[in-house]
């Protein structure tokens, strides 16, 4: 039976917010951007001073409310001066960019905690005094041209992103037809094979795509997007669990074929995916192959991502709510939790996950609400796939390295994937500090240095131990003096003809 259900729509939400907040101060306009409710007002200060009312309303409507000045109160020059007065100098601001189109000021700083201030005191003050809405970005402890380019794309494309988010909101809160009560999962790839992970979930009201990978290790390259169940025009949301290309590599193809909805993932996954896609293009070109997407598609990817923090719940279609949980696999990796139709059915899709903490990351989240269906990654899940404990594996690595170096050799450690290379690097730093291996330089080659920079830009996603070290800066393992990034071919020649060393590439 076909029935029309008008659960909620964008007009209702906007009207409700406007009428409730008008009691506090002037509300010029209410706009939905993706999941967020943006309230435009002539006087943002009134709402900041009555913040508890705004917070209460946000809780009742279960949405983030953003207060924004209708027009900036100060011009850029004055605002810049005021902001530098408000933020203490130990925040180490490296750049400040004003975006007239969106009324935002992007503040890039080394120590973002000082920019934000206690309970957001500084950012509230900036909005109240200047009328510009601050967006804070962290400058990584290691310089990376790639990361700087990525941040400038995000800033340059601010108004494009806001337009895309508004369009997406209209789609999320649309009146919808329930064409069936069935919930189905179609495995477009990654089942009975390793690579090209992609699962289509259909609820009768909406279609959600979980991961869109490629098969990096051979076999059929793309997921079965030719399946009769799959219709790109019907996809409400793409969710990416983590950056490895066997889970994310097909996304540019879908963008090229016209997908203009949102891609949900964490900030580190957005950045690491962009890094891996760039690298994919470079490697293909070096081998004389024309890649199936270009850098323009990577830029489109960056602007279409709506980032979520672990544990944050958002509506992604008329009947589906999404929450991401830490998967403990690589930086920013997430398990996907879908709540369909207010608890009618819940699905947990693990993606690649690990329930054993590592040097770099905390173990996957084990406190998850009710789950009706689990879709679980099972690579390395076979009877024969028993790995030694981490300590044992590290000891073996250390003994091989020590023997090789003592014999006058060099150690080359091929660590292909983002994540593993950094784990190996941390293990070696620890071995050096504890004098378990000879005192030799460690070179890192390829994109490991950029990947490391991304790691330092998101310390909250790292294990508690590493996070504490980074915040204290003096003990930041990513700045360890033994670690030297390889800059180019001449560096490589020098390393090859030089003394004993360890190379991670
Ligand atoms: Zn993976």
* Per-residue model confidence as pLDDT tens digits over 216-254: 888 899 999 999 999 999 999 999 999 999 999 999 999
Q: pLDDT confidence of 1, banded at 50, 70, 90?
A: very low
**Those residues with Cβ within 8 angstroms of residue 74's Cβ, 6 or more apart along the chain or in another chain:** 82, 129, 130, 131, 132
Distance CA 32, CA 305 (A): 16
How many CB atoms are closer than 10 A to CB 403?
11
pLDDT at res. 382: 85
Kindly report the CATH number that applies to the domain delimited by 390-504: 3.40.50.10890
Average pLDDT over residues 398-423: 91
Task: Kindly give the distance from the C-alpha atom of residue 234 to the centroid of ligand 1, in angstroms, as a whole number.
Answer: 27
Task: Kindly give the distance from the C-alpha atom of residue 171 to the centroid of ligand 1, in angstroms, as a whole number.
Answer: 31
Strand partners, 489: none
Task: Kindly give the distance from the C-alpha atom of residue 242 to the centroid of ligand 1, in angstroms, as a whole number.
Answer: 7
CA distances from residue 138 to 218, 374, 457, 458 in whole angstroms, order as listed: 38, 35, 6, 8
Task: Kindly give the distance from the C-alpha atom of residue 125 to the centroid of ligand 1, in angstroms, as a whole number.
Answer: 42
Task: Kindly give the distance from the C-alpha atom of residue 25 to the centroid of ligand 1, in angstroms, as a whole number.
Answer: 49
pLDDT at res. 4: 37
- Do domains 76-139 and 182-375 share one topology? The answer is no
Task: Kindly give the distance from the C-alpha atom of residue 372 to the centroid of ligand 1, in angstroms, as a whole number.
Answer: 24
CA distances from residue 233 to 237, 255, 395 in whole angstroms, order as listed: 11, 11, 52
In the chain the first and final C-alpha atoms are separated, in Å, by: 58
Residue, of 34 and 100, whose pLDDT is higher:
100
ipTM of the complex in this document: 0.99
Comparing 119-123, 253-257, 401-405, 487-491, which segment has the lowest mean pLDDT? 487-491
Beta strands in 233-273 (DSSP E): 235-239, 262-265
Return the percentage of the chain with pLDDT > 90, whole number. Answer: 77
Task: Kindly give the distance from the C-alpha atom of residue 196 to the centroid of ligand 1, in angstroms, as a whole number.
Answer: 11
* Best CA proximity match to 153, nearest among 302, 278, 282: 302
Instruction: Answer yes or no: is pLDDT of 3 > 80.
Output: no
Task: Kindly give the distance from the C-alpha atom of residue 204 to the centroid of ligand 1, in angstroms, as a whole number.
Answer: 30
Residue, of 14 and 336, whose pLDDT is higher:
336
Task: Kindly give the distance from the C-alpha atom of residue 245 to the centroid of ligand 1, in angstroms, as a whole number.
Answer: 8
- Do the beta carbons of residue 357 and residue 463 sit within 8 Å? yes
Task: Kindly give the distance from the C-alpha atom of residue 30 to the centroid of ligand 1, in angstroms, as a whole number.
Answer: 40
Domain 182-375 has CATH 3.40.390.10: no
Ordered by start, the domain boundaries in the chain are 18-69, 76-139, 182-375, 390-504
* Best CA proximity match to 106, nearest among 116, 96, 94, 120: 96
Q: Which fold has domain 76-139?
A: GMP Synthetase; Chain A, domain 3 (3.30.300)
pLDDT at res. 387: 86
Mean residue pLDDT across the chain: 92
pLDDT at res. 315: 94
Strand partners, 159: none
- The strand pair at 176-178 and 3-5 is best described as antiparallel
What tokens does 391 get? 């300590």
Q: Which fold has domain 18-69?
A: GMP Synthetase; Chain A, domain 3 (3.30.300)
Task: Kindly give the distance from the C-alpha atom of residue 352 to the centroid of ligand 1, in angstroms, as a whole number.
Answer: 5
Instruction: Answer yes or no: is pLDDT of 473 > 70.
Output: no
Strand partners, 108: 95, 137
């Amino acid at each position: 039976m076909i029935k029309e259900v008008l659960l909620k729509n964008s007009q209702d939400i906007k009207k409700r917010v406007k009428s409730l907040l008008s009691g506090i101060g002037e509300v010029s306009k209410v706009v939905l951007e993706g999941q967020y409710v943006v309230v435009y007002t002539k006087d943002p200060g009134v709402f900041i001073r009555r913040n508890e009312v705004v917070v209460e309303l946000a809780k009742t409507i279960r949405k983030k409310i953003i207060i924004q000045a209708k027009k900036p109160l100060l011009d850029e020059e004055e605002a810049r001066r005021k902001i530098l007065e408000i933020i203490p100098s130990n925040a180490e601001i490296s750049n400040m960019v004003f975006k007239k189109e969106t009324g935002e000021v992007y503040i890039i700083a080394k120590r973002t905690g000082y920019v934000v201030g206690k309970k957001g005191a500084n950012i509230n003050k900036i909005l109240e005094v200047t009328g510009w809405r601050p967006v804070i970005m962290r400058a990584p402890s290691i310089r990376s041209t790639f990361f700087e380019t990525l941040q400038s794309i995000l800033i340059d494309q601010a108004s494009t992103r806001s337009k895309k988010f508004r369009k997406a909101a209209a789609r999320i809160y649309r009146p919808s037809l329930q064409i069936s009560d069935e919930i189905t999962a179609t495995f477009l790839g990654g089942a009975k094979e390793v690579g090209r992970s992609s699962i289509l979930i259909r609820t009768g009201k909406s279609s959600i795509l979980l991961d869109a990978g490629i098969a990096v290790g051979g076999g059929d390259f793309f997921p079965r997007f030719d399946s009769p169940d799959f219709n790109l025009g019907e996809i409400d949301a793409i969710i990416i669990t983590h950056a490895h290309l066997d889970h994310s590599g097909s996304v540019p193809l879908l963008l090229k074929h016209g997908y203009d909805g949102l891609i949900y993932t964490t900030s580190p996954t957005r950045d690491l995916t962009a890094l891996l896609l760039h690298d994919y293009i470079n490697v293909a070109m070096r081998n004389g192959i024309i890649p199936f997407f270009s850098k323009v598609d990577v830029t489109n990817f960056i602007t279409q991502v709506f980032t979520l923090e672990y544990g944050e719940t958002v509506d992604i279609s008329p009947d589906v709510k999404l929450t991401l949980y830490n998967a403990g696999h690589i930086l920013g990796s997430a398990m996907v939790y879908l709540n369909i139709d207010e608890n009618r059915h819940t699905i947990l899709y693990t993606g690649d996950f690990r329930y054993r903490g590592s040097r770099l990351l905390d173990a996957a989240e084990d406190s998850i609400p009710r789950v009706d269906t689990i879709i679980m990654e099972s690579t390395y899940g076979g009877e024969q796939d028993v790995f030694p404990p981490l300590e044992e594996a590290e000891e073996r690595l250390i003994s091989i390295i020590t023997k090789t170096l003592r014999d006058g050799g060099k150690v080359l450690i091929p660590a292909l994937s983002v994540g593993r290379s950094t784990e190996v690097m941390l293990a070696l730093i620890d071995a050096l500090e504890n004098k378990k291996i000879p005192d030799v330089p460690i070179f890192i080659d390829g994109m490991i240095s950029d990947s490391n920079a991304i790691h330092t830009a998101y310390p909250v996603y790292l294990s508690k131990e590493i996070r504490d070290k980074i915040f204290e800066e003096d003990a930041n393992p990513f700045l360890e003096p033994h670690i030297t990034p390889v800059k180019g071919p001449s560096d490589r020649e020098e390393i090859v003809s030089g003394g004993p060393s360890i190379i991670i590439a």
